[in-house]
Amino acid sequence: MPVANVVMFEFETSADLENWAEWYKRDGPFPNNEISLFVKTGETSAFGIASYPTEEDRVSGGKLRDALVKGDVPFKIKEIIPFGGPVLVEFIDGVLFPKRVK
């Protein structure tokens, strides 16, 4: 069963949020990430959703994300609140994706 990280981001500035999105378009996604969404929810806030085939891949993606925040990057994140768990329903192009979700 696929699993996902659902992460709330609060950036220092709106430019930092845009810089993260540009960085991710260029340098993302993390290894074994199958589906990635990044949704701007406010001037400096966003939610990221990243699905992975296994729990091990999900945990690895979370560790990379956490290390990235502490690294030399062109954006500043004020706060990250991560959640993780199994994907119960997945539609792709309006069609239930049965081969992965049981």
Per-residue confidence (pLDDT) for residue 100, from 0 to 100? 56
User: Rounded to whole angstroms, how far apart are CA atoms 40 and 21?
Assistant: 9
Q: How confident is the model at residue 97 (pLDDT cuts 50, 70, 90)?
A: confident
Residue-wise pLDDT tens digits, 17-57: 999 999 989 988 888 999 999 999 999 999 999 999 999 99
3-96: CATH class: alpha beta
Q: Does the pTM exceed 0.85?
A: no
If DSSP codes are grouped into helix, strand and coil, which group holds residue 55?
helix
